[in-house]
């Protein structure tokens, strides 16, 4: 767990790199293996459907992913929803067969005892896993062209614009202590598109966010560019972020994918800022350990139930508080 000095640094700066959190054999390697197998299945399927020109099976995982993504983009399709651990709407709607990855290795990462020890240091021992979780596969710049979201850069695969995590939740969660654990599956460097933060920006409160093609961003006039610093993170380390810390990512100028998970946790009982049908679960409870979810299949079933519900509703519930009509967004 974090010592008092580290906790004070996190409280002051709004972010903290915690070194050596994850066990590479127990936490990381299962993820690498699971995603390699997933890509193998998807590439075979897409090749048979004529959507990619090759299975690219001779390439290592990250380079294979880049080539598959580019071929799919040429057919007007995106690879990313098939690898993400959350549902992605299309034009405000959700298909009954919307892709999502719900593998046991991902559940293992969400509930890693080493990661939860760090989380407990910050938000306490009663920990709920927040439903807003994502995988980000930041492709090299040469592969990003053409992979867009309604004509705009897809922030899941390209550079992410300035935002605060609190900005993506509904106002009911404004007093919730939502903690982001940003977990790299490759080393994150300036060259391959690590995060940038504005230290102590959490002191300034929530800024206005503007919606654009499914993304949210904070307009430039609210960004103190002179205070920005890059935050490289090594494999096995975890970057903690206050939910009001301004952050973005650099473009990936390397020749390989930069891969990370956005994981979020909240004290049990705090609102998540998502409809109640979105699947949060108790990841740790010192007071009532019998309430912890320990079954990866049960976690997957929760998401599939949510997908069926979202696909069946006439109108998807509101997921953001912001309007593109705000004066700063025009």
Q: What is the CATH number of the domain that holds 65?
A: 2.60.120.620
**What per-residue confidence (pLDDT) applies to 84?**
97
pLDDT-flagged residues of the chain (< 50): 151
In-domain check, residue 324: no
Look at residue 298 and tell me if it is in a domain: yes
Assess if residue 245 is contained within a domain: yes
How deeply is 77 buried, as exposed, middle or buried, from its count of CB atoms within 10 A (0-12, 13-18, 19+)? middle
List of residues 6+ apart from 209 with CB closer than 8 A? 163, 164, 167, 168, 216, 217, 218, 320, 322
> CA 292, CA 275: separation in Å to the nearest integer?
21
Instruction: Look at residue 264 and tell me if it is in a domain.
Output: yes
In-domain check, residue 329: no
Domain count, the chain: 1
* pLDDT tens-place string over residues 117-170: 999 999 999 999 999 999 999 999 888 866 655 545 577 788 899 999 999 999
Extract the tokens encoding 44. 């075979």
What pLDDT is stored for residue 280 in this prediction? Answer: 97
pTM of this prediction exceeds 0.85: yes
> Is 113 a domain residue?
yes
With respect to residue 2, please indicate whether it lies within any of the assigned structural domains.
no
Q: What is residue 307's predicted lDDT score, i.e. its pLDDT?
A: 96
Domain hosting residue 286, numbered range: 8-313
Give me the pLDDT at residue 146, please: 62
| Structural domain contains residue 253 | yes
């Amino acid at each position: 767990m974090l010592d008092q000095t580290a906790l004070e640094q996190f409280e002051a700066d709004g972010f903290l790199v915690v070194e050596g959190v994850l066990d590479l054999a127990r936490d990381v390697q299962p993820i690498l293996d699971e995603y390699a197998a997933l890509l193998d299945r998807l590439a075979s399927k897409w090749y048979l459907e004529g959507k990619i020109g090759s299975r690219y099976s001779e390439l290592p995982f990250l380079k294979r992913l880049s080539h598959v993504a580019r071929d799919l983009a040429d057919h007007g399709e995106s690879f990313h929803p098939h690898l993400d651990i959350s549902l992605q709407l299309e034009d405000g709607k959700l298909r009954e067969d919307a892709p999502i990855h719900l593998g046991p290795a991902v559940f293992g990462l969400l509930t890693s005892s080493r990661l939860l020890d760090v989380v407990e240091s910050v938000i306490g021992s009663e920990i709920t896993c927040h439903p807003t979780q994502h995988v980000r596969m930041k492709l090299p710049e040469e592969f990003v062209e053409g992979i867009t979201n309604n004509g705009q850069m897809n922030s899941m695969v390209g550079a992410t614009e300035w935002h605060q995590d609190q900005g993506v939740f509904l106002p009911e969660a404004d007093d919730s202590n939502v903690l982001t654990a940003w977990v790299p599956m490759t080393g994150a460097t300036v060259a391959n598109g690590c995060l940038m933060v504005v230290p102590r920006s959490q002191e300034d409160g929530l800024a206005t966010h503007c919606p654009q093609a499914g993304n949210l961003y904070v307009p430039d006039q609210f960004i103190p560019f002179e205070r920005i610093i890059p935050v490289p993170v090594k494999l096995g380390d975890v970057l903690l972020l206050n939910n009001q810390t301004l952050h973005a990512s650099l473009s990936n100028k390397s020749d390989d994918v930069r891969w990370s998970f956005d994981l979020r946790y909240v004290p049990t009982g705090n609102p998540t800022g998502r409809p109640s049908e979105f699947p949060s679960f108790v990841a740790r409870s010192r007071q009532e350990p019998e309430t912890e979810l320990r079954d990866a299949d049960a976690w997957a079933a929760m998401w599939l139930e949510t997908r069926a519900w979202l696909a069946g509703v006439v109108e998807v519930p509101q997921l953001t508080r912001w309007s593109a009509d705000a004066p700063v967004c025009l």
